[in-house]
Structure 1
Amino acid sequence: MKALGLVPEDLEGNEDTIAELAEIFDSPLREQHVRVIAALFGKEVPPTPDACSGAGGVERSLIALVLGGCSGVSSFLMDWNPQVLSWNVRGLNNPAKRNAVREFVVDAKVNLVCLEETKIDVFDPYLVMQCIGPSFDGFAYLPALDTRGGILLGWSSAHLSISNITFDRNFLSGLVHSQDGLEWWLSAVYGPQGDELKTQFLVELQHRRDVSPGPWMVLGDFNMIIRANEKSNSNLNRGMMRKFKAFVDNNELKELYMHGRRFTWSNERDQLVMTKIDRVLVSVDWELNFPDVLLQALSSNISDHAPLHLSTSALFCPKRRFRFEICWTRLEGFEQAVKDAWVCEDDTVDPFKRLNALLRNTASALQAWGQRKIGNIKIHMAIANFVILRLERAMESRQLDWRERWLRRSLKHTLLGLASLQRTIERQRSRLRWIREGDANTKLFQAVANGRRTKNFIPHIRHNGELVSQ
């Protein structure tokens, strides 16, 4: 709204600001306001009420979209995304081990911790502080049986809270409430040994899923593998592998790609055996809520399991490169933009250098042209929805004038076109060539594209024996 001139540039984004902005719609919008909002979406206010009937062209409403300075919208957003650490610590009875785990957790800078195989039957706030530090003021735990098992779940209430906590034999679950309003189910697991107990474990986990609909993340030490390449030798329990895979498939879960390691556990013996039994599984709707996830396996430290560090707000900042958007060809002015850009210096006579210059100039010009034409679709949709909502609330207490009615109707048509355009772009980026454009929704394309981006991301490289992260 700063870009629209409705609020000052130096106004901070808080609840008072939003309330003040909403008051603008309590009285009829001035003609200047309507014209500025319409111009943001490439529209002109009709000169008279009778001319409003021509506001129905969905395709043409897309053509002149202008990004403008919409960055002010994002100033109302705060980053409260959870940062998660899952680790089988192989016991916390030793004070020296508790100190080592606490230092590791503090260095990891997380706000949600899941420790498996604690081998402790009772936790109190002081013991929790010894194990994971003072910032985790909320906790729940699954007691160990004799000296086996046990799970500790700790969280920082400054970032999130967990309610509806339930306890099963080998896992505990709860409803996570993020400070930004998102809610999702979490199950922290420590899988049992033995085929019969593992089968019962999957049955109980399935039951928990049945009574906990919505976004779901299940993480921890499953003590099971899904694929043969998740174990360093050929001694495989294929029956349990099939059951575990069936559980994942039946619940439509996705395993987050793990960077840094192939395996998460080793037997620490001369005859080395390594497996990947620690993992993070999420539902599709959870992944759509957190598209910028990065899962890394860290140093095993004092355990024989690698800790899993999950960031839900990782910054993927690869060097921008030219990508031709299929939707550009549908926009008015595309051919003229290519003709205007297909030029190079007259003194470039070498045919290969000339072609290279022509392609580079055209790519650069098309990127700028596409940004002016389309801009940031999600921001445009957010602004359109905000204006429509405020106008509809105003309708309940006063009569909208003809310009406001035209603006509301015009923005509704624009939203239809924006949704179609966004779906086309997401389909192209997902690289799903085998699905026709009308056969799947935008969420599928987003999930596939997010998975490709996460897997292709390189958090660091080793150069001359040193790790380089930037």
Structure 2
Amino acid sequence: MSVVYEPQSDAQKLTFLEDLAERRTLCPGPWLVIRDFNLILHAADKSNNRIDRRMMGKFKRFIDDNALKEFFLHGRRFTWSSEREEPTLTKIDRAFVSMDWEMDHPDCLLQAMSTSARFRFELFWVKLEGFLEAVKEAWVCDEGITDPFHRLDVLLRNTAKFLTAWGQHRVGNIKLQITCANLVILRFDVAQESRQLTEGERWLRASLKHLVLGLASLERTIARQRSRIRWLQEGDANTALFHLIANGRKAKNFIPALSVEGQVITDQQGKEEAFFEAYQELLGKDRAREHSLDLEFLNIPRLDLSEQDLVFEEEEIWAVIKEMPS
């Protein structure tokens, strides 16, 4: 098994693919190669049309030359984001296996280990009283840590952990608070039908109504932030359209049940086995070819395409740019 992390520049990527192919030559047999290739294999692996098709072709040639097969990625279309307001999304994390590896492990499923919940910064925190004081209190680090990168990592981790606990303490469970407040208000409304509320009851009822309005507004703000739907106005966050779109990504990729030969399957393991058996029967198994083509007998002339593997020089790029019409 090889775990890779490919470099950034094109020249280093080409060197990396050559080194990986050489390692494969030195180590034949079943092979699994996974992790961050920093290259896309298809145009659909990137969310925009700014695609380096030359490097994409190099990657495809590497896969074909080494007879590798890609594992299907369940539940994700992209694996990396530029984390901008309008992010660029790409699929650069992949898993490839050789044919003999797949024959040795036909029923193997690669699954990532579960990780702790990631930190989510809530935008409304900055509007809460005591936010700056909380950040100052959390922004501490052991003086014994002198490496600047390690120190920054510790500071950010401490602040994220502290803010998560601070936000939960300051706000709590919003839905539960709204439910409890509405229940008390309902009791006051019922009592008001048979008697006059006292001054203290009237004050508490009015305070709870203001609290419910504030919590409902806060709940809509959080839902809008987490939905990543930027084209909705602030006031539209409580509409049925918003909730349909916000929940649509999860619902459209979920298969609640399968019907196989009259039997309804609803459990996850049963559905996985049903899909596997269906496609195994449809696609069959790999086997050796009985016939092959002799290209030399056909006298097809070979083309020298080595120039297409050369890296563009800066002077060549500038020359093309200067020749373009203004």
TM-score (norm. length: structure 1): 0.29
**Structure with the larger strand share:** 1
Answer 1 or 2: higher relative contact order, Cα 8 Å, separation at least 6: 1
